[in-house]
Every structure is written in C-alpha cells, then in structure tokens.
Amino acid sequence: MKPGCVVIGGGGHATMVLEALRLQGKVRIVGVTDPDRGRKSVAGVPVLGDDGILDQARRLKIRCFSVGVGSVGDNRPRAQLYRRAIESGLKPVQAIHPSAVVSPRATVGPGTMIFPRAVVNPGSELGANVIVNSAAVVEHDVRIADHAHVCPGAVLCGGVHVGEGAFIGAGAVVIQGVRIGAWAVVAAGAVVHKDVPEGGRVAGIPARPMGKKST
Ligand code: JB3
C-alpha cells in the first residue's frame, strides 16, 4: 500500500502540491492540516485539523508529509513547519509535477517541490524543502540550499548559488555565477548581476538594495 501523506497548510500553494502529488501517484493523500477552522477541504482533500494532527500521525496511518505553505517573501515559516514534521517522525516527500523537466544529472533533496513546466538542468543540486515554482528555470550547475523558493518564471543562470531560505521573486533573473546569500530576498522582476549578502534585499534592473535610489 502507498504510504499515507499529509500536506501542511491548505491555501493556494497547497493546491499545487496536492496536484503534483496526485499526478506523481506515489503516496496516498490522507489530508491537510490548517489552523483555519473554517477550511473544511482543499481541492477535495479533507482538512484534518491544525498541526497538532502531526503528533497523531501514526494513529492516522500517515507516514510522510509535504509543506503546503508558500509563505511569500519569508521562508522561515516553511523551514519551521518542515522541522516540526520531521520531529513528529514523518518523512518528507518530493512533489515533482510530471511536466517538469528534471535532468537525471541533477540532485533533488527530500521534500522539494518542482512545479509545472519548471526546468532543472544537469549538475544542479537542490536541497531539502526547496520550491521551484511553475516555469522557473534552474540552469546547469546551480546550487539551491534548503527551504529556498524560486518563484514562477524566475531564471537562475548557470552556476548560480542560492543560500538557505533565500527567496527569488517571480520573473527575476540571476546572472551566471552570482551568489544569493541565505534568507536574502530578490524582488519580482529583478535582474541580479552581483552577489547578494546574507539577509540582503534587492530589487530592480540592475538589482540594487531595496530602499536605495538608482544612480
Ligand atoms: O505565487 C504563487 C504561484 N503561489 C503563492 C505561494 C507561493 O504562496 C500563492 O499565490 C500565495 O501567495 C502563497 O500561497 P500560500 O502560502 O498557500 O498562501 P495562502 O493561499 O494565503 O494560504 C496559506 C494557508 O496556510 C492558509 O490556509 C493558512 O491558514 C495556512 N497556514 C498558515 N500558517 C498554516 C500555517 N497551515 C499550517 N498547517 N500550519 C501553519 O503554521
């Protein structure tokens, strides 16, 4: 029998995770956890309750999980939920949409999700609980650390490094070899041609620290 799986969070991102999991067909989706008591089901999947359910996983025959919270702009909640589920004894599952193109020479970490039409090219290494959102391009030899989120349509050119928990906004372009520090934020549509320090926040073309006027 396929292992029972819970998706943590029941909003828009969860609907994408649920679809990828269904199409992959490797797990039996048991339910969703969400603190919103008004939410009874998500994409036809029952909401089981809040995250306290994770401690009852064995009784409910749940063995694995996927973080279904997207947390735009701050990946810390996603990282916390991932750790919480691991502490509850659950195993992270990957959610890779069948239309994504993932090189057999790329490595993909536990709990990582790759959405429709995304591309992950050879030599790339993706950590745990990473999101490569719809139609994002992760070129060759890119490294993406745990909990980072590459939003829809963003492009990471060859050899880019993305630090833990970093956020790359929709449609942003990170030029070859640039390093994005841990927990940094790259705004939507930015073109990043220089390294961004840990916790840095950049926007614009070319990207500059947020709040500073271009010269
Ligand atoms: O832009 C795209 C393609 N996707 C966005 C995604 C990355 O982020 C999407 O459009 C949204 O902006 C956002 O999706 P997300 O995170 O699902 O947000 P939202 O639709 O607002 O739903 C968040 C859900 O997570 C709500 O139902 C919250 O109650 C729930 N939630 C918040 N904190 C939580 C927690 N659920 C659990 N289980 N545990 C929590 O700690």
Q: Which of the listed residues 32, 69, 129, 185 should we mutate to test ligand 1's pocket, taking the one with most ligand atoms within 8 A of CB?
A: 69
Digit-coded pLDDT (tens) for 86-145: 999 999 999 999 999 999 999 999 999 999 999 999 999 999 999 999 999 999 999 999
Q: What pLDDT was estimated at residue 207?
A: 98
Long-range contact list for 54-61, CB < 8 A, 24+ apart? 54/6, 54/8, 54/84, 54/85, 54/88, 54/90, 55/88, 57/6, 57/88, 57/89, 57/90, 58/89, 60/4, 60/6, 60/30, 60/31, 61/4, 61/30
pLDDT band at 212 (very low <50, low <70, confident <90, very high): low
**Residue 213: pLDDT above 90?**
no
**Residue 63: pLDDT above 60?**
yes
Tokens 């004894």 correspond to 89
Q: What pLDDT was estimated at residue 72?
A: 84
pTM over 0.75? The answer is yes
Is there an atom of ligand 1 within 6 Å of 42 CB? no
Q: What pLDDT was estimated at residue 139?
A: 98
Digit-coded pLDDT (tens) for 11-57: 999 999 999 999 999 999 999 999 999 999 999 999 999 999 999 99
**Residue 71: pLDDT above 90?**
no
13 C-alpha to ligand 1 centroid (Å): 6
Q: Whose CA is nearest to atom 16 of ligand 1?
A: 70
**Ligand 1 atom showing the smallest separation from residue 39 Cα:** 27
Digit-coded pLDDT (tens) for 151-205: 999 999 999 999 999 999 999 999 999 999 999 999 999 999 999 999 999 999 9
Q: How many residues does the chain have?
A: 215
Contact 107, 125 (CB under 8 A): yes
